[in-house]
Amino acid sequence: MQTNSETEISNYIESLNWRYATKKFDADKKLSAEEIENLVDAIRLSASSYGLQPYRVLVISDPEVRKTLRPACWDQSQITDASHLLVFTHQTDFGPELVDSYIDTVSETRGVAKEKLSGYADFMKSKLVELPASAKANWTARQAYLAVGNLLSAAAAARIDACPMEGFEAEKVNEILGLTSKGLSAAVLVAVGHRSQEDATQHNEKVRRPHEEIFTHI
């Protein structure tokens, strides 16, 4: 007999087997406000290095904005047919303010005086602030991808379809959405909604490398 934890992980694995990168969405099926809010919460609760979350996520439902974006996204139908399009952007550069704003939030949330957090703040700054700009941008993009993973898992658990997409011209997407002036750049897009019954790829067997090619137990 399975324990509750065993049942939960079994259900989770089943959800991961259910999900696939949806190629064709049903444009008539929209996610509810509650479903979107749950997905947004899953993103917000994602792990990130030091907890700094150096990214911003645009949740786009406006059909005209998505129509404008589609040519810059290799004309992929998911951009316009999905219920919503999430654009994960990352900070292209940052200074000590990234850490300071986080420390402010920690202080307020936990009721701890900022003076008691100064040592941790200085430690984070010593590891991050003096990095080259290219290294900073690479690091912030990786943090955004952690949030994408959390979103995909949460969507699968709720039987919401999703398609992560790197097939787009970042400079054009940045221009359309006015990201560059905000110190942001698009890292990855995720279309969410419900699959079309016409999407033949949903019936394909999931392909993953065998365990022995991925894992080494020591």
* pLDDT tens digits, one per residue of 129-142: 999 999 999 999 99
User: Over the range 38-64, which residues count as b (16 or more CB within 10 Å of their CB) and which as e?
Assistant: bbeebbeebebeeebbbbebbebeeee
- pLDDT of 26: 98
Which amino acid type is present at position 212? E
- Cα distances from 185 to residues 9, 201, 209, in angstroms, run 35, 31, 32
Q: Is the pLDDT of residue 4 over 90?
A: no
Q: What is the mean pLDDT of the chain?
A: 97
CATH of the domain at 184: 3.40.109.10
Dihedral sign of CA atoms 191, 195, 198, 199 in order: positive
> Is 110 contained in some domain?
no
> Is 186 contained in some domain?
yes
- pLDDT of 99: 98
> Is 168 contained in some domain?
yes
> Is 189 contained in some domain?
yes
Structural domain count, the chain? 1
Q: Express as a percent the part of the chain with pLDDT over 90.
A: 97
* pLDDT tens digits, one per residue of 133-179: 999 999 999 999 999 999 999 999 999 999 999 999 999 999 999 99
Range name among 4-18, 76-90, 181-195 with the lowest pLDDT average: 4-18
C-alpha to C-alpha distance for 79 and 17, rounded to whole angstroms: 24
- pLDDT of 206: 95
* Mean pLDDT to the nearest integer, 113-131: 98
Q: Tell me the pTM.
A: 0.96
Q: Is the pLDDT of residue 1 over 80?
A: no
Q: Is the pLDDT of residue 2 over 90?
A: no
Angle 44-160-56 (CA atoms, 0-180°, nearest 5)?
25
> Is 192 contained in some domain?
yes
Here the contacts of 133-138 (C-beta below 8 Å, separation 24 or greater) are: 133/92, 133/93, 136/91, 136/92, 136/93, 136/94, 137/90, 137/91, 137/92, 137/93, 137/185
User: Over the range 178-190, which residues count as b (16 or more CB within 10 Å of their CB) and which as e?
Assistant: ebeeeebbbbbbb
* pLDDT tens digits, one per residue of 55-108: 999 999 999 999 999 999 999 999 999 999 999 999 999 999 999 999 999 999
> Is 174 contained in some domain?
yes
Question: Which residue segment(s) compose the domain that 184 sits in?
Answer: 25-93+145-198
- pLDDT of 3: 87
